[in-house]
Amino acid sequence: MENSESPLAKVEYIFVEKAEKQEKTINDDQGYLMGFINFFSKNNNYNSFKTLLHKELNFSVKSHDYFKNQEVDLNDYKFALVDNERNIQTFEEIDESFYNELKASLRNLLIIGKNFKAEEFKHLEIFDDWYENYSNRS
């Protein structure tokens, strides 16, 4: 504990498991979870962030029995940043552009399947709970 380091910043996220067919805004059997990732160093880059996120999500889906997928392939997901007015900016992959925007804004992160409609999701109770109780808002 005496060697512990305080994070420089924290990014809150909500992860919604991918579905082969998105029958409604969020399917009844789709698992989801809320969490956060700490930034400890200004020297982080998008590759280290991507690796950290991948490990975090894989650990989570294996630890909870409500996920159908036991492995997360980040190529099956898109990434969206949510601002203080609930505007959503979507990225198809974790690349340098996404990472720079995330780090500059420290906005809230949605991790959702490629066929998931983020705009519809922000009207659901799950999104409201996450946004109101856990999100990084000024």
For the chain, report the end-to-end CA distance as a whole number of angstroms: 30
Look up the pTM and report it.
0.88
Q: How far apart are CA 56 and CA 52, in angstroms?
A: 6
Q: What is the tens place of the pLDDT at every residue in 80-132? A: 999 988 999 999 999 999 998 988 887 899 999 999 999 999 999 999 999 99
CB 34 within 8 A of CB 10: no
* pLDDT for res 64: 92
Max alpha carbon distance in the chain (Å)? 50
SS (H, E, C) 33-67: EEEEEEECCCCCCHHHHHHHHHHHHHHHHHHCCCC
Residue 9 in tokens: 């910043």
pLDDT tops 70 at residue 77: yes
Domains and CATH numbers, the chain: 9-134 (3.10.20)
Neighbours of 86 (CB within 10 A): 15
Q: Quick check: 73 pLDDT over 60?
A: yes
pLDDT tens profile 2-42: 666 666 678 899 999 999 999 999 999 999 999 998 876 66
pLDDT of 106: 76
Residue 106: left if φ>0, alpha if ψ -120 to 50, beta else—which one?
Answer: left
